[in-house]
Each structure stands twice: as C-alpha cells, then as structure tokens.
Structure 1
Amino acid sequence: MENNQESRYVKRTQKDYTMSFKLQIVQEIEQGLTTISLVKKDYAIQSRSTIVQWLRKFGNFDWENQTPSNMSKSPEQKIMELEAKVRLLEKQKTFLEQQAFVADKKAIIFDMMIDIAEKEYQIDIRKNSSPEQSTILKNNKNKQ
C-alpha cells in the first residue's frame, strides 16, 4: 500500500513546467480569468509560491513599486485612484496649513518675548544690522 501512495505523489520542480505553460498561467491570472488558488488546484501545482514566482519573473506587475507596469486600467479604477490621491493631498494640505499657522503664532510670540526682554534688560538681543541701517534706526528712535 505504501508503494501505491508513493507512486501517485510525484514531487515536481520548476523545471518540470514548460515556459509556454508558465506564461499561459501568468497571462490568465493577470487578465483576471482565474486566481492563484484556482490555478494551483486546477493544474496540480504544489505550491502557491511557485505561481507567485512566475508572476514576479514573467508578469507585468512592478513588484518593487507595487504597481502594474503595462496593465491598462479601467476608467473607474483611474477615477478611484485620483480620488484617493485628492483626499490624501487635501489631508496633507490641511496638516501643513495647521503647521504654518502654529509657526506664525510662535514667531509672533517669540518676537514679543524679545521685545519685552530688550525693554526689561535694556540690551539689544536681535542680530546687529548693517551700519547704514543702524544709523537710520538710531535717528528714527531719537525722533520719537
């Protein structure tokens, strides 16, 4: 009985499949005619990873960027992708506007703190201006 079971089970390797067979499987999956699990079951391919490896080698999917390279998209898919991008950009815009608002408020508060410190301690904290500007500023202060 053991001999009977051993003879039915034949371990296959990648080399057992022809190139045309591999390309046919990849094409069927990419066109959406079947799935990896159905191909595995229908053609008695032992491992799902074997089929995934064929898809990586011979398919049109860019595995590094996770995007199809040559596969055309339906108008609905394009619209959905663009809507998702718009939503993402709107979120990013809102976040950046909030950051800009906070940064502006911080700048105003820091400027006020410097003004107060300069008045309290009678020292110039801000960066020194060029000589031409400093004489103009002194003249303006003297007039006040």
Structure 2
Amino acid sequence: MKPNVKIIQKSRVYSEEFKREIVSLFEKGNYSVLQISRLYGISGPVIYRWIYKFSIFSKQGQRIVEMKASNTNKVKELEAKVRELERIVGQKQIQVDFYSKLIEIASEELDYDIIKNSNTPQSTGSAKKENK
C-alpha cells in the first residue's frame, strides 16, 4: 500500500526592497525582463507584475511593452547613419582637396598668390585719412 503523500508547492516570498531593485534594473535599461528572469530565476509574468506595481513609469491603464529586437535595430540604424555620414564627409574632403589644388594651379598659372590676397581687409572707401 502506498502512503498518502501530497506534493507541497514551494512558493517564494520576496521582500518589497528586492522587488523594487529588480524593477530599477529594468527601468535603467541594464537588463531586459528575460535577462532578469534568467539571472534571478523569477518568471517573466511575476517581474511584469512588479513593474506594474512599483515602476515610476507605469500609470494605471497603460501597458509596458518590451521590444526584444529594438536595441539591435536601433544599433543597426545608428551604424548605417554613421556610414552615411562618413561617406558624406569623405566626399566633402575630396571637394576640399580639389578646390585647394585648383587654387594652387591657378596661382601658378596666373603667377599671382590667390590665397595670400584672399585675406586682405576690405577697403574703407575713398575717404581721406587725417594726417597727424
């Protein structure tokens, strides 16, 4: 005959301080809910319940949605933007080099120093200067 055995379910009780610490990890963006769940062995729905209860960002009637791929998409978009800006800077540098070479060649051909004379101050007009 088998003994009459009941399975006792284990339930963990977490302090409010611990729950707030978990919520702050999520709010700071250090970890996702999935990462916190794996680190601390807490189920995702429990963490979301704590977020709804203790988060400074959650208001009644709002739902917190965590985009899993949002960070990777954001990084890819920023990398593409950096590549585009580097390309533009490269084109501008080519233009600058072209114009400086053009000025150099024009100076040699005309036997006139264009760069030196481009910084001359503007004339003050045809007014006579007073002699002291």
Q: TM-score range by the shorter chain?
A: 0.3 to 0.5
Instruction: Please give the TM-score of this superposition, normalised by the length of structure 2.
Output: 0.41
Greater RCO between the two (CA within 8 Å, min separation 6)?
2
